[in-house]
Amino acid sequence: MIVGMKKIFLLMRQGQDREALEDLGSLGMVHVEHDNVPSGVELSAINDKIALIEQVRTILSASAAVEPGKGKTGQMGDLDVFCRHVIDLQKRHDQLKEYSVTLHSWIDLWSPWGDFDPDALRALQDNNVQVKLYQISKDKIALLPPDIVIKKISSQGVLVNCLVVSMGGIETGFKELELPKLSLSGMKKRLSEDTRIMQSIKKEISSCAVYSNDLTAAENLLLKEKEFYSVLKGMGRTEEIAYLKGYIPVDAENLLVGRAKKNGWGILTLEPGENDAVPTLLRNPAWVSLIKPVLKLLELVPGYSEIDISPLFIIFFSIFFGILIGDAGYGLIYFLLTLWVYKKMGGKVKDKSVFFLFYVLSFCAMIWGLLSGTFFGQEWLHGMGLKPLLPKLNNATFLQSLCFFIGALHLSLAHGWKAMRKAPSLSALADVGWILILWAVFFLANTLLLDAVFPSSGSWLIISGLLLVLFFSSPQKNIFKAVGAGLGTIALSLVNNFTDVVSYIRLFAVGLATVAIADAFNSMAAGIVKKGDILTIVIAAFVIVCGHMLNLILGPMSILVHGVRLNVLEFCSHAGVSWIGFSYKPFCKKEGV
C-alpha cells in the first residue's frame, strides 16, 4: 500500500541549521524538497572529487589483470594523490599507444627503403651533397637529369623507391619524400621500448585495482556529504531564520514533532495539496514485496494519489510466468539456478526478495507443467502413455478461452479497484458498467474466435454496461452533458476493451510456441539417435541441449515482453495508474559526515 504523507516545515535560527541537519539526518525520515537550487564551493569540491573517483573506477574496471576488491583495503593513502596518479598513468599509456600507432605507420612506410641513418643524410646535405628520396613511376625514371646519380632501392608496384645524389641543387620535377626522424632500427627499438613501458603501466594500473573497496567507501562517504550540503544549501533563508520543507510518513509525525520541541525548532505539518510533488513510499506484506525487484528494474513508481497494484501484480505475474514458461522441467532448472546463485551470492545481497521471487515463479512454471503434462516438451511424455493431471490444458480451444477469462478477470479487478476509490461518487457506477462490458466482451471473443454460442445474458451485460457508462462517466445535473461525456467515453474505449481482452491470447500463443520448440528439438534428436552409433548419440544430445537452452533463454524475455506488459499497460490503463510517481528518499546522515 502507499503510505500517507505529511508536508512539513521546520524553522530554526540561522546558526542552528548545520547542527539541526545533523540531528535530522540521524532520524532518516524527512524527504527534503529544496527551496533553493543547491550550490556553493563545498558542493563543487565534492562533485569534483566524485568525478575524479568515477574516472579512476572506469580506468580500473577496464583492467582485468587483477581481480578488484581483494586485499589492501585501507592502504590507499591520500585519495586525491592516488586518483591523480592512476589518471596520469592512463594518460601516459594513451599517449604511448597513440605514438605507437604512428610508429607502426612509419615502419610500414620505410621498411621498403631498408635501414639507414637519416642524420647521416642530413649531414651530407649540410656539406652541399644533395641526397634526396623519391617515389617515381618506372616509366618516368628516364626523364631525370643525366648529371645526377640514381640508386634504385626497391619497387612497390609501378613505383620505384629512388635515392638521388648530386652536387648542388637537384631539380627533378618530382615531389621529394621528407626524411624520417628516426632510422628503421630506431623506430623498431622505440616501439619495443614503448610497448614494454605500456605493459609496465598497465601492470601498475592493474595493481591499483585492489583498492576498489577503498574507492567505493570514499565515494559513498562523498555522496552522503553531498546530500548533506545539498540539503544545507537548498534550505530557504531569511535574515534570521533558516527553514526546511519536505515530507514524512504520517506515522513519523509525532516523533518529528517531539524532536522539534526538544531542540527548539518551529514545526508545521500539513496535508499535501493537489499540486504538491509528494514522494511515494510503499509498504507491503512480505509476499507482496516480492514484486519489488521487477518494479525497481523497470523503474516503475505509482504516483502518490494513484493505487499500489503490487498485490495483484505479483499474483497475476506469477500466473503469467507459469503459463508462458509452461514446462515443469524448465521451472526446475530455474529453481536450481536460483538456488545455486543464492548460495554463491546470497550473503552479499541485502535485499533477498529477488531470490524468493524466482523461487515462486519457478514453482508456478513447475505446477503448470505438471497440470499440462509438460516436462522438457510434451510429445515424448504422451508417447510413453503418461497423461497430464489436467488434460484440458492441452486443448487449444479451452486454453484460449481460459486466456480470455483471465483477461476479463484481470481487467475487471482493475475497474473494481478504481470503483472503490471513486465511491461513494456516482462515477463509480461507470466502472461497474465497464466490468459488465468486459464480461460481454469475453463472451463475444469466444463467439467470434472460438465459435462458441453467444449467451443471451451477454446482451444484457453489454446493454446494462453501456447504460451505466453513458449516464455515470461524468455525472452532473445537466443530463445532456452527462450523456455527451458518456458517449465520448464509449467511443474512445469500447473497441479498446475488446482488443485488451483478446490481447491476453498472447499467453496461449507464447506458451504453445515454447512447447512446440521443445518438441521440435526432441523429435530432431530422436531421429538422429536412431542410427545408434556414439557420434549420432553425441550429436543428438547436443541438439537437445541447444534446443532447450534456447527456450530457457527466450522464456524470461517473453516474461518481460508479455507478462510485464499485461500488468503495466493493459491492467494499469484500466485501473488509472500512469506510474508518474517518484520514490520516497529520506535525508539520512552517516557518522563522519
DSSP-derived secondary structure for 143-190:
GS-TTSEEEEEEEETTEEEEEEEEES----SSPEEPPPSS-HHHHHHH
Please list the helix, strand and coil fractions of the chain in percent, rounded to the nearest 5, in that order. 65, 10, 25
Mean pLDDT rounded to a whole number for the chain: 88
Classify residue 553: in a domain, yes or no: no
In a domain, 408, yes or no: no
pLDDT of residue 69: 46
CB contact at 8 A, 554 and 253: no
Outline where DSSP puts E strands in 258-413: 266-270
What pLDDT does residue 591 have? 47
Q: pLDDT tens digits for 500-520? A: 999 999 999 999 998 898 888
Per the domain annotation, does 500 fall within a domain? no
315 confidence band (pLDDT: 50, 70, 90): very high
Number of domains in the chain: 1
Per the model's pLDDT, the better-predicted residue between 488 and 316 turns out to be 316
Is residue 135 situated within a structural domain? yes
What is the Cα–Cα distance from 304 to 579, expressed in whole angstroms?
10
Residue 129 lies in a domain: yes
Q: Is 80 exceeded by the pLDDT of residue 89? A: yes
For residue 73, is pLDDT > 70?
Answer: no
Check whether 129 has a pLDDT greater than 90: no
User: Does 172 reside within a domain?
Assistant: yes
Residue 161: strand pairing partners: 135, 154
SS3 state at 97? helix
Find the range with the poorest average confidence among 83-92, 442-451, 474-483.
Answer: 474-483
pLDDT at 199 over 50: yes
Contact 193, 100 (CB under 8 A): no
128: region left, alpha or beta (phi > 0 left; psi from -120 to 50 alpha) = left
| 202 and 93 Cβ atoms separated by less than 8 Å | yes
d(CA 515, CA 91): 55
Confidence at residue 166, expressed as pLDDT on a 0 to 100 scale: 84
Instruction: Tell me how far the alpha carbon of residue 584 is from its chain's centroid.
Output: 21
Average pLDDT over residues 278-291: 93
* Arithmetic mean of pLDDT, 227-249: 91
Q: Within a domain: residue 163?
A: yes
Q: Tell me what pLDDT residue 247 has.
A: 95
Full residue range of the structural domain in which residue 122 is found = 116-182
* Residues 554-566: tens digit of each pLDDT: 888 888 889 999 9
In Å, the largest CA–CA distance within the chain is: 114
* Distance separating alpha carbons of residues 525 and 542, to the nearest angstrom: 8
Q: Which residue has the higher pLDDT, 386 or 443?
A: 443
Neighbours of 47 (CB within 10 A): 12
In a domain, 148, yes or no: yes
Band (593; pLDDT cuts 50, 70, 90): very low
CA distance 326 to 322: 5
The residue written with cell numbers 612509419 in the block is 106
